[in-house]
C-alpha cells in the first residue's frame, strides 16, 4: 500500500521522535495520520447554501503521530509551535493561550458528545500548510485528530460523518460558522481527482483530472484574512435574508440551492439590492460548478478556465469578498499566455488565488507574478505548485514499507 512519500518519511520520523521526547518513550506503536489542506476549483460560498462545490486536496498536509494512554489525559506536542498542551477528556475547555490546540480539543469534545468512547492520548503534530492563508490548515488538523481517534479507539465512523463531526467541532467548539467543504475534501479527496460535493445530500463524486499537462499554481497574497470572520457571517445572514424573501413567492424552498436561474430572474426585483447581488452570486455559482464538472470530464480546460474567471468576477463584484491583492493575482494570471483561468479560492479577504495553467507556461506565470505583484501591491507573494493529492490516510508507524511508496 502506498501511504506516504519519501519526504513524508522524514517528517514522520521527526514527529515520532518528538512524541517520544515530549510525551515519554511509551511501549505502544504509534499511529500516524496525514490530512491534506485544500483549494477550491470553483463553487465559492455555496456550501452553506446547500449548494455544490468542487475542491481538490493539495499536497501540503498536517501529520500527526499518536498512541493511547492508560488514563484520561491528552498530551499534545506541536512541533511547529514547540508547545506542549495538556488537558483531561473529562474537562475539555477552550484554551485561550494555545489557540492551535482548540481544533484538537474541539474534535475530541464533539466525538465524546456524540457518544464515542475515547481514552487518553499522547499526540505530536506538525504541518506544512501555510496558516491563515485560506488553505484549510485547521480543517486538516481537525480531520487528522478525528482519524487518529478513529484508528486508536477503533471507532466506527463513516468518512462523511468524520467530515461532519470535524465541521461541528469548528462550528460549536472553535466558534467559526464554516460550511462542510474544507473538512469534506481533506477527508475524502482522491489523488488526481477533483471532488464534487452536493452540500445538501452530502453525496459526492470524484472527477478525474484528465491531463498531466495542466497544472495548478497557488498564489498566496500574503494578506492576513482580517475581515474574514465578521464578513463571512454577514454573508451567511444576507443569504438567509434572500431566502426568506424568496420563500414568500417560492414556497417550499429551504436554501438558495433550490432557486433556479429563471426563478431568480423572475423574482429578483423583490430583493434589496445588496441581498440581490449576494443571491445572484450563489445561484449562478451553483450552475457554474455543474458546468465545470462537465468541462473537467471532457478535458475542456478552456471552458473550465472561463468559468473560473467568471466565478472570480462574481465574488469580486456581487459577493464582494475579494480584495485588491487577490484581484491583482487574477489580473496578472490573465495576462500570461497559456493560463486557462484564475480566481480567488476560499472565503476571501486575502489568502490565496489559484491559476489553472499549461505545464509549459507555469514558469512564465510564476515569473510574471513574482515581478508584477510586488510592483502593484508593494509586497512579495508566495507561490506553491501543487498536485491533486489524496485525502486523509492513517497507518501504523512500524509499517515502514508504506513510507517507501510515492503519493
Ligand atoms: C471557508 C469555509 C468553507 C466555505 C468557503 C467559501 O473556506 O470554511 O466552508 O464556505 O469559506 O466557499
Amino acid 1: pLDDT: 37
Dihedral angle over CA of 393, 399, 404, 406, nearest 10 = -20
CA distances from 229 to 47, 84, 176, 177, 232 (A): 16, 28, 7, 8, 5
Sign of CA dihedral 347, 99, 189, 400: positive
Amino acid 8: pLDDT: 83
Dihedral angle over CA of 183, 188, 191, 196, nearest 10 = -90
pLDDT for residue 364 is more than 90: yes
Average pLDDT, the chain: 95
Sign of CA dihedral 243, 245, 246, 249: positive
Ligand 1 centroid distance, CA of 214 (Å):
25
375 CB contacts (<8 Å, ≥6 apart)? none
Residue among 39, 45, 200, 320 to mutate when testing ligand 1 (max atoms within 8 A of CB):
45
Ligand 1 nearest atom to the CA of residue 232, by list position: 11
Band of residue 406 on the pLDDT scale cut at 50, 70, 90: very low
The residue to which cell 469534545 is assigned = 109
Would the CB of 164 count as within 6 Å of ligand 1? no
Ligand 1 centroid distance, CA of 2 (Å):
30
Residue among 182, 200, 322 to mutate when testing ligand 1 (max atoms within 8 A of CB):
182
Report the C-alpha gap between 291 and 66 in whole angstroms: 42
Ligand 1 nearest atom to the CA of residue 46, by list position: 12
Band of residue 2 on the pLDDT scale cut at 50, 70, 90: very low
Ligand 1 centroid distance, CA of 53 (Å):
10
Taking alpha carbons only, the member of 62, 321, 290, 306 closest to residue 197 is 290
% the chain with pLDDT above 90: 90
The model's pLDDT over 175-185, given as tens digits with 9 standing for 90+, comes to 989 999 999 99
Band of residue 400 on the pLDDT scale cut at 50, 70, 90: low
Paired strand residues for 123: 66, 76
Taking alpha carbons only, the member of 189, 98, 198 closest to residue 143 is 189
Name the residues annotated as catalytic. Answer: 182
Residue among 175, 178, 186, 282 to mutate when testing ligand 1 (max atoms within 8 A of CB):
178
Would the CB of 347 count as within 6 Å of ligand 1? yes
Whose CA is closest to atom 2 on ligand 1? 178
Would the CB of 178 count as within 6 Å of ligand 1? yes
pLDDT for residue 329 is more than 80: yes
Amino acid 407: pLDDT: 44
Report the C-alpha gap between 289 and 141 in whole angstroms: 27
Average pLDDT of the residues in 152-175: 97
Average pLDDT of the residues in 295-312: 98
Amino acid 386: pLDDT: 96
Q: Reduce the DSSP state of residue 40 to 3 states and report it.
A: strand
Cβ proximity of 256 and 282 under 8 Å: yes
The model's pLDDT over 204-263, given as tens digits with 9 standing for 90+, comes to 999 999 888 999 999 999 997 766 778 999 999 999 999 999 999 999 999 999 999 999
Would the CB of 179 count as within 6 Å of ligand 1? yes
The residue to which cell 519519501 is assigned = 6
pLDDT for residue 267 is more than 50: yes
Ligand 1 centroid distance, CA of 74 (Å):
29
Taking alpha carbons only, the member of 34, 36, 126, 140 closest to residue 82 is 126
pLDDT for residue 399 is more than 90: no
% the chain with pLDDT above 70: 95
Would the CB of 45 count as within 6 Å of ligand 1? yes
Amino acid at each position: 500500500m502506498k501511504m506516504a512519500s519519501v519526504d513524508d518519511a522524514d517528517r514522520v520520523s521527526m514527529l515520532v521522535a518528538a512524541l517520544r521526547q515530549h510525551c515519554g518513550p511509551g511501549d505502544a506503536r504509534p499511529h500516524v495520520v496525514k490530512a491534506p489542506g485544500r483549494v477550491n476549483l470553483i463553487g465559492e460560498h455555496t456550501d452553506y447554501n446547500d449548494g455544490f462545490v468542487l475542491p481538490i486536496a493539495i499536497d501540503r498536509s498536517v501529520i500527526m503521530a499518536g498512541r493511547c494512554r492508560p488514563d484520561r489525559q491528552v498530551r499534545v506536542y506541536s512541533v511547529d509551535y514547540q508547545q506542549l498542551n495538556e488537558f483531561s477528556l473529562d474537562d475539555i475547555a477552550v484554551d485561550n493561550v494555545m489557540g492551535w490546540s482548540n481544533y484538537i480539543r474541539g474534535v475530541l469534545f464533539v466525538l465524546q458528545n456524540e457518544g464515542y468512547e475515547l481514552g487518553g492520548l499522547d499526540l505530536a503534530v506538525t504541518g506544512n500548510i501555510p496558516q491563515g492563508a485560506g488553505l484549510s490548515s485547521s480543517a486538516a488538523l481537525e480531520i487528522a485528530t478525528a482519524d487518529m481517534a478513529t484508528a486508536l479507539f477503533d471507532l466506527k465512523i463513516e468518512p462523511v460523518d468524520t467530515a461532519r463531526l470535524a465541521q461541528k467541532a469548528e462550528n460549536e467548539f472553535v466558534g467559526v460558522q464554516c460550511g462542510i467543504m474544507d473538512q469534506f475534501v481533506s477527508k475524502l479527496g482522491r489523488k488526481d481527482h477533483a471532488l464534487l460535493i452536493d452540500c445538501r445530500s452530502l453525496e459526492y463524486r470524484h472527477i478525474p483530472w484528465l491531463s498531466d499537462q495542466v497544472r495548478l499554481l497557488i498564489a498566496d497574497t500574503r494578506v492576513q484574512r482580517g475581515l474574514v470572520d465578521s464578513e463571512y457571517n454577514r454573508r451567511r445572514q444576507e443569504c438567509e435574508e434572500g431566502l426568506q424573501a424568496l420563500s414568500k413567492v417560492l414556497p417550499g424552498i429551504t436554501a438558495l440551492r433550490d432557486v433556479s436561474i429563471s426563478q431568480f430572474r423572475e423574482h429578483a426585483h423583490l430583493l434589496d439590492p445588496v441581498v440581490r447581488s449576494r443571491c445572484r452570486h450563489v445561484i449562478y455559482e451553483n450552475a457554474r460548478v455543474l458546468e465545470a464538472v462537465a468541462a473537467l470530464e471532457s478535458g475542456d480546460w478552456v471552458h473550465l478556465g472561463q468559468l473560473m474567471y467568471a466565478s472570480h468576477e462574481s465574488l469580486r463584484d456581487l459577493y464582494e469578498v475579494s480584495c485588491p491583492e487577490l484581484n491583482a493575482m487574477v489580473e496578472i494570471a490573465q495576462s500570461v499566455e497559456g493560463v486557462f483561468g484564475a480566481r480567488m479560492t476560499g472565503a476571501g479577504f486575502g489568502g490565496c488565488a489559484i491559476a489553472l495553467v499549461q505545464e509549459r507556461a507555469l514558469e512564465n506565470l510564476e515569473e510574471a507574478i513574482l515581478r508584477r505583484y510586488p510592483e502593484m501591491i508593494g509586497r512579495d507573494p508566495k507561490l506553491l505548485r501543487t498536485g491533486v493529492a489524496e485525502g486523509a490516510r492513517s497507518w501504523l508507524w512500524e509499517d515502514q514499507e508504506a513510507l517507501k511508496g510515492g503519493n
